[in-house]
Amino acid sequence: MDVADDLVLRKVCRKLQQFNVRNLDLTAETDITGDLEIDSVAVLDLIMEVEDEYGISFPMNLLSEIRTVGDLVRAIHKQAGAQ
Amino acid sequence: MDLFDKIAGLPGLHEQIVAAGSDPFGVCMDKMCSATEAIIQGRNVVLAGTNNYLGLTFDQDCVDAAHDALDRLGTGTTGSRIANGTYSEHRRLEDDIASFFGFASSMVFPTGYQANLGVISALAGPGDYILLDADCHACIYDGCRMTGATVIRFRHNCPEDLDKRLKRLDSKDTNKLIIVEGLYSMFGDIAPLAEFAEVKRRHKAYLYVDEAHSVGVFGEKGRGVAEHAGVLDDVDFVVGTFSKSLGSIGGFCASDHPKFPFLRFASRPYMFTASLSPSNVASVTTALGRLRSDPGLQETLWRNAHALYDRLSAFGLTLAAPPSPIIAVKIATQEQAVMYWNKLLQAGVYVNLAIPPGTPNSSSLLRCSASAAHTPEQIDWIAEAFGQVAEEMHAYEAQNAGRYLLRQSAE
């Protein structure tokens, strides 16, 4: 799925902006913990905000597969479709 | 590329923290003098960073019981309960724990960490749902990872958030296990267990409560926050440790469920590890007896906790939660927290330094714990040190702010 133009992507990037201290250009390829240097607990808290926004629950089991912003966006679409 | 690449950042981080003085994560007690004092770097230090809530580590009865067990039963069991046998003392301790909570049975483990790994991994499996409080201890997270169950985090201490997440599962025919703690180890805040129990009943879920820090601390009989909230009957599994109020090492789980004893044959962290050593079992059995027969211990603990809390709060320090034996002082930055911690040690007080990601909300904390064994003079000593260091830190910050302003005006 092409996420480049996606509304969910834009929303996620807006949420990530608070962590973007190095002012990177946030794209689907941005590595959440690597490029943004967010610690693992903060990532989990961010996921909770995303869950609230979309009325979904993200199993923690899936989180290990989410590395980039694009991975997160695809996972949101998948969960929202399934629940 | 090598195996250690994944921890490549750690040496730099460690160096940064140690540069401010001593290593907060590698403190060596050269000599333990009592439950509340040690010699560290040649200095007599008052310990305000233990989990020795009832101060029983040097209790004469507990020490004597351990000595006696060493003489009678030897230094170790050299094997697992399943393969190499149970000592009658293990069984007696399990009976004591079950009767303490008023539950049908209990199991003991060599550490509290293993108790959570052992019970969670045996209870939940693929197809089940675990709902865990976001601030649960690492061993609960690790236990969940071993299950293959679907694991969902809910907001810390928020029954409404748990309710919302359980509602999303209402259409599914599945087992739901809610995991929370009684007293949280970092901030010292307690779970709203009456509200959690109500949510649990409504959604027909199971409730699992880790009372590691709250046994001996909360509840009329010292059984923890669930007893304190009057909902012990709603708890399906109560887990705890022997390494805090009970002054030794080990962990347990107690339950009323008739099939609970069969977890012994399903729990890998129970089956494939050596059992508790006889001297540990003996001191814990005696400590549990003390806890049950001497409510004065809990009263003294709370008197000390309130005294320390009031003194620290009078200095204008930001405390993370209402009074409890865990008193966490919030510090604005990690750098300041490390400096603060070093100055306290130099002033003869040991507390715990807690920094992200080991803490909730990326906070930096100086975590203190009160003990029933602290004397009023020791509480005074701890408070005075905090007052003195707070003043020094204040002066340092003011000076830094001054420098910053000067630099700004120069620019």
Closest CA relative to residue B137, chosen from B179, B177, B106: B179
Rounded to two decimals, the pTM is 0.93
Residues in A closer than 8 angstroms to B362, CB to CB, are 39, 41-42
pLDDT reported for residue A46 = 85
pLDDT reported for residue A5 = 64
Residues B85-102 have a mean pLDDT of 98
Q: Does A81 touch chain B (CB under 8 A)?
A: no
Q: Hey, how many other C-beta atoms are within 10 angstroms of the C-beta on B140?
A: 24
DSSP letter string, B67-124: HHHHHHH-S---S-HHHH---HHHHHHHHHHHHHHT-SEEEEESSHHHHHHHHHHHH-
With an 8 Å Cβ cutoff, are A42 and B362 in contact?
yes
Is the residue at A1 inside a domain? no
Give the ranges where B6-56 is alpha helix by DSSP (H): 10-18
Residues B328-352 have a mean pLDDT of 96
> Which pLDDT tens digit goes with each residue over B6-40?
899 899 989 989 998 999 999 999 999 999 999 99
pLDDT reported for residue A37 = 78
Residue A70 makes CB contacts below 8 A (sequence gap 6+) with A3, A9, A27, A28, A29
Residues B231-252 have a mean pLDDT of 98
Is the model's pLDDT at B1 over the cut of 70? yes
Q: Is A18 helix (H, G, I), strand (E, B) or coil?
A: helix
Q: Does A45 touch chain B (CB under 8 A)?
A: yes
My answer on whether B235 and B314 are in the same domain is no
Contact between A53 and A11 (Cβ < 8 Å):
yes
With an 8 Å Cβ cutoff, are A60 and B155 in contact?
no
- In the sheet that holds B43-47, the strands lie side by side as B31-32, B37-40, B43-47, B349-350
Weakest mean pLDDT among A22-31, B23-32, B134-143, B308-317: A22-31
Place of tokens 């409560």: B209
Residues B170-194 have a mean pLDDT of 96
Q: Which of residues 344-403 of B touch A (CB under 8 A)?
A: 356-357, 359-362
> Which of B254, B269, B293 delimits the end of a domain?
B293
Q: Alpha-carbon distance B20 to B355, whole Å?
A: 15
> Which of B277, B293, B309 delimits the end of a domain?
B293
My answer on whether B221 and B163 are in the same domain is yes
Residues in A closer than 8 angstroms to B153, CB to CB, are 44, 47-48, 60
My answer on whether B248 and B212 are in the same domain is yes
My answer on whether B168 and B312 are in the same domain is no
DSSP letter string, B186-246: TT--B--HHHHHHHHHHTT-EEEEE-TTTTTTSSTTS--HHHHTT-GGG-SEEEEESSSTT
Question: Which chain A residue is nearest to residue B6, measuring alpha carbons?
Answer: A34
My answer on whether B195 and B318 are in the same domain is no
Q: Alpha-carbon distance B187 to B193, whole Å?
A: 17
Q: Alpha-carbon distance B372 to B305, whole Å?
A: 9
Is the residue at B174 inside a domain? yes
Residues in B closer than 8 angstroms to A58, CB to CB, are 152
Q: Between chain A and chain B, how many beta carbons pairs sit less than 8 Å apart?
A: 37
The whole-angstrom distance between A39's CA and the closest CA on chain B is 6
> Which pLDDT tens digit goes with each residue over B139-151?
999 999 999 999 9
Is the residue at B53 inside a domain? no
B42: left (phi over 0), alpha (psi -120 to 50) or beta: left
Report residue B410's pLDDT band, with 50, 70 and 90 as the boundaries. low
Residues B205-229 have a mean pLDDT of 98
- Give the side-chain half-sphere CA count within 13 A for B319: 23
Is the residue at B390 inside a domain? yes
Q: Does B165 touch chain A (CB under 8 A)?
A: yes
Is the residue at A41 inside a domain? yes
- CATH number for the domain that contains residue B357: 3.90.1150.10
Q: Alpha-carbon distance B172 to B150, whole Å?
A: 13
pLDDT reported for residue B276 = 98
Q: Alpha-carbon distance B73 to B69, whole Å?
A: 5
pLDDT reported for residue A4 = 54
pLDDT reported for residue B108 = 98
Is the residue at B54 inside a domain? no
Structure tokens at B123: 């209870």
What does the CA dihedral B245, B248, B250, B254 come to, rounded to 10 degrees? -40
My answer on whether B264 and B284 are in the same domain is yes
Q: Is it true that the peptide bond before B357 is cis, omega within 30 degrees of 0?
A: yes
When the pLDDT of each residue in chain A is averaged and rounded to a whole number, the result is 84
Structure tokens at B336: 């300041």
Report residue A65's pLDDT band, with 50, 70 and 90 as the boundaries. confident
Question: Which chain A residue is nearest to residue B131, measuring alpha carbons?
Answer: A59
Residues A56-80 have a mean pLDDT of 87
Is the model's pLDDT at A2 over the cut of 70? no
My answer on whether B192 and B146 are in the same domain is yes
Is the model's pLDDT at B183 over the cut of 60? yes
With an 8 Å Cβ cutoff, are A44 and B153 in contact?
yes
With an 8 Å Cβ cutoff, are B168 and A39 in contact?
no
> Which of B249, B266, B293 delimits the end of a domain?
B293
> Which pLDDT tens digit goes with each residue over B274-306?
999 999 999 999 999 999 999 999 999 999 999
Q: What is the tally of structural domains in chain A? A: 1
Greater pLDDT, A10 or B122: B122
User: Domain residues for B114?
Assistant: 59-293
Percent of chain B whose pLDDT exceeds 90 = 90
My answer on whether B35 and B142 are in the same domain is no
Is the model's pLDDT at A38 over the cut of 90? no
Residues in B closer than 8 angstroms to A39, CB to CB, are 356-357, 362
Residues B166-187 have a mean pLDDT of 95
Residues B154-158 have a mean pLDDT of 95
Is the residue at B370 inside a domain? yes
Which H or E run contains B287? helix B278-293
Q: Does B134 touch chain A (CB under 8 A)?
A: yes
Is the residue at A13 inside a domain? yes
Report residue A44's pLDDT band, with 50, 70 and 90 as the boundaries. confident
pLDDT reported for residue A54 = 86
Is the residue at A2 inside a domain? no
Q: What is the tally of structural domains in chain B? A: 2
Q: Does A48 touch chain B (CB under 8 A)?
A: yes
User: Domain residues for A11?
Assistant: 7-82
Is the residue at B52 inside a domain? no
My answer on whether B138 and B38 are in the same domain is no
pLDDT reported for residue A15 = 87
Is the residue at A69 inside a domain? yes
- CATH number for the domain that contains residue B75: 3.40.640.10
Residues B244-258 have a mean pLDDT of 98
Residue B154 makes CB contacts below 8 A (sequence gap 6+) with B131, B132, B133, B134, B161, B162, B164, B165
Which of A39, A41, A50 has the most B C-beta neighbours within 10 Å, making it the best mutation to test the interface with B?
Answer: A41
Q: Does B176 touch chain A (CB under 8 A)?
A: no
With an 8 Å Cβ cutoff, are B361 and A45 in contact?
yes
ipTM of the assembly?
0.82
My answer on whether B230 and B301 are in the same domain is no
Q: Hey, how many other C-beta atoms are within 10 angstroms of the C-beta on A46?
A: 18
- CATH number for the domain that contains residue A48: 1.10.1200.10
My answer on whether B205 and B287 are in the same domain is yes
pLDDT reported for residue A43 = 83
Is the residue at B164 inside a domain? yes
Q: Which of residues 19-38 of A touch B (CB under 8 A)?
A: none
My answer on whether B74 and B207 are in the same domain is yes
Is the residue at A65 inside a domain? yes
